[in-house]
Amino acid sequence: MRFLLLIVVFLTLALPAYAQEAQPDIQSLKEKAEKGDAGAQGSLGLAYYQGRGVPQDYEEAYKWFEKAAEQGNVDAEASLGIMYFQGQGVKQDRTEAAKWLAKAAKQGNVVAQSVLGISYAKGDGVKQDYDEAAELLKKAAEKGNADAQNSLGALYAEGHGVKQDYAEAAKWYRKAADQGHVAAQTSLGGLYAEGKGVGQSDADAISWYQKAAEKGDAGAQNNLGVAYEQGRGVKQDYAEALKWYQKAADQGVAVSQTNIGFMYEQGHGVKQDYAEAFKWYQKAADQGLPDAQNNVGAAYAHGQGVQQDYAQAVVWLTKAADQGQPIAQTNLGVLLAAGQGTKQDYAEAIKRFFAAAKQGYAPAQYSLGSMCAQGQGTKQDYANAFQWYKKAAEQGFPPAQHDLAALYHNGQGAAKSEEEAYFWANLAAAADSKFAADRDKIVAKLTPEQVKAGQKRAREWKPTPDAARATHPGPTGR
């Protein structure tokens, strides 16, 4: 299961502050506004926008902001831009919003600089321009605008418009987080969890996640759920994990819905229930989350929580595979090779296996090696099979270790070596007893010294990390 690290351009729009009384004198403001006083027009617009002294009325707010903006009132220009941005009191028009925000930003309006900077980062109403975004956000961030500080942190974290610098990202996230900005709190927690730009600290990650989660931030709620499920920075508590996942899932977070599905599939903190797991996976899959789509496809393929249906399995696995999900690419390759739910197609199976194998996914590397060894969809090629088996075997995948041992034993794709064959066969047998018989056949061809050396080597051996598992770990992988 992964932490949901929210490094995003996050926006909470707030209108600029107008100089006014705690409770505005509406009659006086109206009289001045109707005489063309731009300051009064802006303040009256704000009163209608906030519903202070008058019933809230966005259309009336828009009317007065427009009058003030047309006279060059900078706060009104910014406010008008925000109303166009959000479609309040006027039809939403991000291009028109950018026009008014630019006018205010040039005059140093902090809110306008922040919102316009975020618009440039997202390409929303303007052509995407990270350099322009960074310039505007720096100006607003240095003046203390929390939204700008958070978004500037995101630019540094991702290296957009500035050189990637996690320490700088952490600095700006912290400034925003200290002002109570929940997205920044979540992102800062993520940096602590991964030790990027700050010293790795699960305790600090939890502290920031907790602050944001209690304010309703869905990303933080999911991350807190992960921490409780894994016992990372807190005592493992499946019930607490499920509680936080549920809060995020109720806000529509697909990753949290998938994580709930995994808890039901595994019976973590709840009674194992494949049907309930499938229900949650489907919710997330319908939102386009590739990990969930893979799980739905796998459920259909195995008939787990739903009636077995290979055709539906192919549909969902294809959705996930087309988004680059390596486990789905591998699962789809298996169905294509077997002709289950679709016409048998070795060439397409190889294509899917290769896409996942390039991402470092061991089962895909093994499957690709097997296709090469058997000459399915490609010319039989033991040397190529050897290369793919070795990649998977080095990650600790027992079937690949077993088949790699066989190639060494037979001298296929590599020089014959009973010592190498025994080493890999020994690893495979240690992981799965069904491979023990083949290992024992190799032992008969070795001296006691060779066996002892092979056993010592196996004890000291450590697998290499699986890149695909690091990207698509835990509950999202099947």
How far apart, in whole angstroms, are the C-alpha atoms of residue 228 and residue 238? 6
What percent of the chain has a predicted confidence (pLDDT) above 90? 92
Residues of the chain with CATH 1.25.40.10: 28-107
pLDDT band at 5 (very low <50, low <70, confident <90, very high): very low
How confident is residue 478, by pLDDT bands cut at 50, 70 and 90? very low
pLDDT confidence of 4, banded at 50, 70, 90? very low
Q: Residue 22: pLDDT band by 50, 70, 90 thresholds?
A: low
pLDDT value at residue 15: 61
Query: Does the pLDDT value for residue 117 go beyond 60?
Result: yes
pLDDT at residue 23 in the model? 72
List, in order, residues 6 or more apart from 342 with CB less than 8 Å away.
310, 311, 314, 335, 336
**More confident position, 478 or 418:** 418
pLDDT tens sequence across 84-115: 999 999 999 999 999 999 999 999 999 999 99
Chain-wide mean pLDDT for the chain? 93
- The answer, yes or no, to whether residue 467 has pLDDT greater than 60, is no
Residue 83, pLDDT > 50, answer yes
Q: Are 461 and 427 spatial neighbours (Cβ–Cβ below 8 Å)? A: yes
> One-letter amino acid identity for 309?
D
pLDDT tens-digit profile of 426-460?
Answer: 999 999 999 999 999 999 999 999 999 999 999 99
**Predicted local confidence at residue 154, as pLDDT:** 97
Average pLDDT over residues 280-290: 98
Q: What is the mean pLDDT of residues 314-340?
A: 98
Residue 271 has a pLDDT of: 97
Q: How far apart are CA 218 and CA 406, in angstroms?
A: 50
- Specify the range with the lowest mean pLDDT, choosing from 55-59, 175-179, 441-445, 471-475: 471-475
Q: Within 10 A of 448 (CB to CB), how many other CB atoms are there?
A: 8
Rg (CA), the chain: 29
Q: Is the pLDDT of residue 333 over 60?
A: yes
* Count of CB atoms situated within 10 Å of the CB of 440: 12
Task: Spell out the SS3 assignment of 303-362.
Answer: CCCCCCCHHHHHHHHHHHHCCCCHHHHHHHHHHHHHCCCCCCCHHHHHHHHHHHHCCCCH
305-311: average pLDDT:
98
Q: Report which of residues 6 and 399 the model is more confident about.
A: 399
As a whole-number percent, the residues of the chain with pLDDT over 70 amount to 93
Q: Residue 466: its pLDDT value, please? A: 64
**Single-letter residue type at 274:** Y
3-state secondary structure of 395: coil
Q: What is the pLDDT of residue 465?
A: 79
- pLDDT score of 471: 40
The answer, as to whether pTM is greater than 0.75, is: yes
In 143-233, where does DSSP find H-type helix? 146-158, 166-177, 182-194, 202-214, 218-230
Nearest residue to 400 via CA among 376, 365, 438, 349: 365
- pLDDT tens sequence across 172-210: 999 999 999 999 999 999 999 999 999 999 999 999 999
Binning the chain into helix, strand and coil, the percentages to the nearest 5 are 65, 0, 35
SS3 160: coil
Q: How confident is the model at residue 279 (pLDDT cuts 50, 70, 90)?
A: very high
pLDDT per position as a tens digit, 378-407: 999 999 999 999 999 999 999 999 999 999
Does residue 123 register a pLDDT over 60?
Answer: yes
Tell me the CATH architecture of domain 28-107: Alpha Horseshoe (1.25)
Q: What is the torsion angle, in degrees rounded to the nearest 10, for the CA atoms of residue 57, residue 63, residue 64 and residue 67?
A: 170
Q: Which class for 379: exposed (0-12), middle (13-18), buried (19 or more C-beta within 10 A)?
A: exposed
- pLDDT tens digits along 127-153: 999 999 999 999 999 999 999 999 999
pLDDT bin (cut points 50, 70, 90) of residue 18 is low
Pick from 439, 434, 395, 436: which is nearest to 421 by CA?
Answer: 439
More confident residue, 5 or 51: 51
